[in-house]
Amino acid sequence: MNRMNGRKNSRGWCGGMLAALLIAAPAWGQQYPSKPIRMVVPSAPGSGPDLIARVVAQKLTEALGRSVVTDPRPGAGGSLGAEIVAKAPPDGYTLIMGSAGSHSVNTALYPKLPYDAVKDFAPISLVSTAPNILIVHPSLPVKTVKDLVALAKAKPGELTFGSGGNGSTAHLSGELFRVLAKANMVHVPFKGAPAAAIGVMTGEISMGIINLPPALPHVRSGKLKALGVSTDKRSSAVPEIPTIAEAGLPGYEAGTWYGLLAPAGTPNDIVMRLNAELVKGLRSEDMKKRIAAEGGDIVGSTPEEFTAVIKRDIEKWTRVVAASGAKAN
């Protein structure tokens, strides 16, 4: 009888412990965050991801009650920053404001990456989408995309197109332009989209297809001429600017996106806490206005929807790399 009671007590103790663990399991997410959060930005200050990250970091700081601090780590088209986060502890205290460059283009462009864009990350939410914008110096003798294509064909190898660096969406946006235009143009990588915009303004390069946010102020001031946006539809931020396709290069489409991710293995309750706060913030009027001011369109998604976007984008850019013969270096 004593042995029987012992077994019953043992089962009861085990059952009690299991119940306690099950009850305690969600506590990780409930207690999170207990310290500041670092949001790595894998691109240069002033770039599209950096501008969007700053807006999101402020909103999450307000929602979570802990500081969310942006940490710019540019280089290798976003690979340097992405590697940092991929190898960080999966505890929710290191996040990344990823982009199509860091999580789609790089996979297509670099033969070997120090991270897997799908397996090494836990997507939280797609934040926004934005077009790239085709810019030229006001003195360039072109008024439309059609004019630019004609000029590029008339001067093979003479026109240069800049981007924020090898492996960026701007880089492959230019390669796609070159392929569809059937023109011989030379790629010139810069250290970030803002530097590429300055390169066009100074006449160092002929044109650029770069992130809209860093180019927009210069377009509005008249220092740069915008010929088209890269998406298949006009941007709500600059509806007066036609798409590249409608302005003279049919079939052209090359937008970008920004989204928040954590290292793979981050507890699901933390991922869902961040998702809930971020999506809620994105629906607020002030966030809509602030991101629209940076040239973006608000999205907000589930982690699963964001994963599907990344995979679809990898397939697309892989085809572009194969068609253009683009190289990372």
Lowest mean pLDDT among 39-43, 167-171, 227-231, 257-261: 167-171
With contact defined as beta carbons under 8 Å apart, do 37 and 66 qualify?
Answer: yes
Q: Tell me whether strands 225-229 and 256-263 are parallel, antiparallel or unpaired.
A: unpaired
The count of structural domains within the chain is 2
CA atoms within 13 A on the CB side of 260: 34
- Together in a domain, 144 and 108: no
Same domain, 194 and 140: yes
Q: Cα–Cα distance between 169 and 211 in angstroms, integer? A: 8
Q: Is residue 245 part of a domain?
A: no
Task: Clarify whether residues 103 and 145 are in a common domain.
Answer: no
Residue pair 321/104 in contact (Cβ under 8 Å)? The answer is no
Asked if the structure places residue 238 within a domain, the reply is: no
Residue 297 lies in a domain: yes
C-alpha–C-alpha distance, residues 191 and 182, integer Å: 27
CA 144 to chain CA centroid, Å, is 28
Over range 216-222, report the average pLDDT. 91
DSSP letter string over 223-287? SSEEEEESSSS--SSSTTSPBTTTTT-TT----EEEEEEEETT--HHHHHHHHHHHHHHHTSHHH
Residue 249 pLDDT greater than 90, yes or no: yes
Q: What is the mean pLDDT of the chain?
A: 87
Q: Is residue 242 one of the residues assigned to a domain?
A: no
**Domain co-membership, 198 together with 53:** no
Q: Which domain holds residue 53?
A: 35-129+256-324
Same structural domain for residues 164 and 136?
yes
CA angle 185, 190, 191 (to 5 degrees): 160
Residue 225 lies in a domain: yes
Between these two residues, 323 and 285, which has the higher pLDDT value? 285
Task: Lowest mean pLDDT of 36-40, 83-87, 207-211, 324-328, name the range.
Answer: 324-328
Statement: the pTM of the whole predicted model exceeds 0.85: no
Same domain for 225 and 136: yes
310 alpha carbon, distance to own chain's centre: 10
> CA 102, CA 77: separation in Å to the nearest integer?
6
| Distance of alpha carbon 92 from alpha carbon 38, whole angstroms | 9
Q: Say whether both 149 and 205 belong to one domain.
A: yes
Any domain includes 22? no
Write down which residue in 210, 229, 248 finishes a domain: 229
Q: Domain with 225 in it: what CATH number?
A: 3.40.190.10
